[in-house]
Structure 1
Amino acid sequence: MTTTTARVAAVVAKWCQADAADLTADTRLEDLDLDSLSRLEAALGLQREFGVAIDDTRMNDAETIADVVDIVETSPAKVADGS
């Protein structure tokens, strides 16, 4: 598992009460019972962890941990809001 995949798995695991060590790139988010609110919370956690802006629609369309890794790796850096 790549470092990015492990970090994504750790963030996602927090929102589905799973053990990050049990998650792989092929783990289906559906199997983790991530509802839309949990996906939003996970997206916020990923934004904090990686400093990127996660598109909610892309996150809701993700099917696997690998899909989430792709979202993280292709998302633009989050712009500071000045506060």
Structure 2
Amino acid sequence: MNVSETVDERVNALFSRGLHVAEIDMDTPLLDYGLDSVRSVELVIELEREFGIAISDEEAATLHTTRDVIDCVTAKTTRTRSAAAGARA
């Protein structure tokens, strides 16, 4: 299993639980699932905890679908791993 599959699964599970839906389509706007501003903030905080990353308010405002979220998390976790590997070298 590659890193992006793991991120996909974890993000989809987190959003399915958080939005109380059985399945999330990666390209359906999260607003269509009833995401409001309060729940959005809660889910960003959960993402930050789950993946050990920071997501700015500006970045969060660009996350309209779970595909957007997965791409953001994947990029941030890849950068974090690269930085950690560089620090060890």
Instruction: Classify the TM-score, shorter chain.
Output: 0.7 to 0.9
Q: How many residues align?
A: 75
TM-score of the pair, normalised by structure 1: 0.75
Structure 2 CA distance for partners of 1:3 and 1:65, relative to 1, 3 Å: same
Which structure carries more relative contact order (alpha carbon 8 Å, separation 6+)? 2
Runs of 4+ in 1 over 4 A off after TM superposition: none
Unaligned runs of 5+ in 1: 78-83
Unaligned runs of 5+ in 2: 81-89
The residue aligned with 1:40 is 41
TM-score of the pair, normalised by structure 2: 0.71
Higher helix share: 2
Amino acid at match of 2:11: V
Q: Distance in 1 between matches of 2:62 and 2:17?
A: 19
Q: Which has the larger radius of gyration?
A: 2
The residue aligned with 1:30 is 31
